[in-house]
Amino acid sequence: MSTERIVLAYSGGLDTSVGIGWIAEETGAEVVAVAVDLGQGGEDLETIRRRALDCGAVEAVVADARDEFADQYCLPALQANALYMDRYPLVSALSRPVIVKHLAEAAKYHGATTVAHGCTGKGNDQVRFEVGLGALVPDLKVIAPVRDFAWTREKAIAYAEERNLPIDVTKKSPFSVDQNVWGRAVETGFLEDLWNAPTKDVYSYTEDPTVNWQAPDELVITFDRGVPVAIDGETVTVLEAIQQLNRRAGAHGIGRLDMVEDRLVGIKSREVYEAPGAIALITAHQELENVTLERDLARFKRQVEQRWGELVYDGLWFSPLKEALDGFVAKTQAHVSGEIRMVLHGGTATVNGRRSERSLYDFNLATYDEGDTFDQSLAKGFVQLWGLPSKIAAKRDQKS
């Protein structure tokens, strides 16, 4: 009779490294560790794989999903101009469905009946993992030791020391950090007091824009149907576009966010984000849409963007509504092609030039100088008819 297997979402850190042996001891199952590289930096995949095996995993699956993440998750978010609460570019929320997909594939391949993750009961990620897994592999069971068995950091350290696990348990950041190529999320520690300002050590992807006196960086981003395909005339993949703008926009302190966020579980949480590439790209993409999208389509798309962002934040990446809205957003990108020139400086990405062969801007209609082709004689009747319902209502109200 074969031993049951459990697939564990593995980060390489203390909690999930300790979780390998603890889950095996508690359940009698073999643990398959799955680590996914989303451009978070740090240790290489082979180091992470070896640590998982040294901690007792029977298999360690490591996947370089950087291009997959950029093309299939970050790009749709860019095309949807997705900003939760009008600010947050879904840094962590976008990464979870990619990990879920790899967990589901590993579970099928290794014949696992259960998936484990290291999320707490206070956060959004438990929902994103478990709802996503339910959509892809409905029959899988899920365990979450930190949430379900009150697994604390102190217990994890003691467990690692007792068993001489190859984990450095002496260094503890005052913050909880989650990062990938789309951005970086920082919480807990002294940030939980809303009056405390972030200190320099909170940030990693960005320089302080108040003390960074670099010369402004002007660049041109080329889009083809909503996809960034070149920067300053040099062809780039979506991943390369994000990486380059992380460097260039990050050098000017662009993409810093300090916000109180409404979590799905019903509480408010103070979060500090860095997303220089994401914010620069969304700023450019929004401006190109201003040039190329018809007014009513643009107005309705803004409503869709808000709902799309809420669905992704709430862990419903694989939901029917999210899939349907994907189709709408994709349709809107048919004419979003052209170039945006922007200046990066002082914490802001400022657009100062736009051009597109698909532009709806007509110079001869817009100009007040020679060459004006707008027939102003048509405007008087238009204004009268446009305001007629309000005028009729006003007369009624005056009588009463």
124 is in an annotated binding site: yes
Consult the annotation and say whether 204 binds a ligand: no
Question: Does 176 belong to an annotated binding site?
Answer: yes
Parallel, antiparallel or unpaired: strands 217-224 and 227-231: antiparallel
- Does 269 show up as a binding residue in the annotation? no
The whole-angstrom separation of Cα 47 and Cα 17 is 13
Q: What is the DSSP string of 42-80?
A: SS-HHHHHHHHHHTT-SEEEEEE-HHHHIIIIIHHHHHT
Give, rounded to a whole angstrom, the gap between the first and last alpha carbons of the chain. Answer: 86
Q: Which of 37, 49, 66, 125 is catalytic?
A: 125
96 a catalytic residue: yes
- Rounded Cα distance, 141 and 178, in Å: 25
Residue 148 among the catalytic residues: no
Ligand-binding annotation for 88, yes or no, is: yes
- Is 11 annotated in some ligand binding site? yes
Is 41 annotated for ligand binding? no
How far apart are alpha carbons 103 and 100 in whole angstroms? 5
- Distance separating alpha carbons of residues 325 and 363, to the nearest angstrom: 33
Question: Is-catalytic flag, 95?
Answer: no
231 beta partners = 221, 234
Catalytic annotation, pick one of 44, 176, 355, 372: 176
Q: Is 9 annotated as a binding residue?
A: yes
Alpha helix ranges (H) inside the chain: 14-27, 45-54, 66-69, 75-79, 91-110, 125-136, 145-148, 153-162, 238-250, 276-292, 295-313, 320-332, 363-366, 379-386, 388-399
Residue type, 320: P
183 a known binding residue?
no
24 annotated to bind ligand: no
Judge whether 375 is annotated as a binding position: no
Ligand-binding site membership of 92 (annotated): no
Buried-exposed string 112-148: b where 16+ CB fall within 10 A, e elsewhere: bebbbbbbeeebbbbbbbbbbbebbbeebebbbbbbe
CA distance 319 to 84: 18
Q: Is 10 among the annotated ligand-binding positions?
A: yes
Q: Residue 261, annotated ligand binder?
A: yes
Quick check: 333 and 275 in contact, CB under 8 A?
no
Contact 285, 226 (CB under 8 A): yes
Alpha carbons 322 and 310: distance in angstroms, whole number: 10
From the candidates 5, 51, 66, 96, give the one annotated as an active-site residue.
96
Tell me whether residue 255 is annotated as binding. no
Catalytic residue among 15, 37, 51, 95: 15
Closest CA to 144 of 165, 163, 170, 125: 125
Confirm whether residue 125 is marked as ligand binding: yes
- Based on the residue annotation, tell me whether 377 is a catalytic residue of this protein: no
* Burial 90-100, CB ≥16 within 10 A → b, else e: bbbbbbbbbbb
Is 354 flagged in the annotation as binding?
no
373 known ligand binder: no
The binding site for ATP consists of: 9-17, 118
Instruction: List residues with catalytic annotation.
Output: 15, 96, 125, 176
The binding site for L-aspartate consists of: 120, 124-125
The binding site for L-citrulline consists of: 88, 124, 128, 176, 261, 273
The binding site consists of: 9-17, 88, 118, 120, 124-125, 128, 176, 261, 273
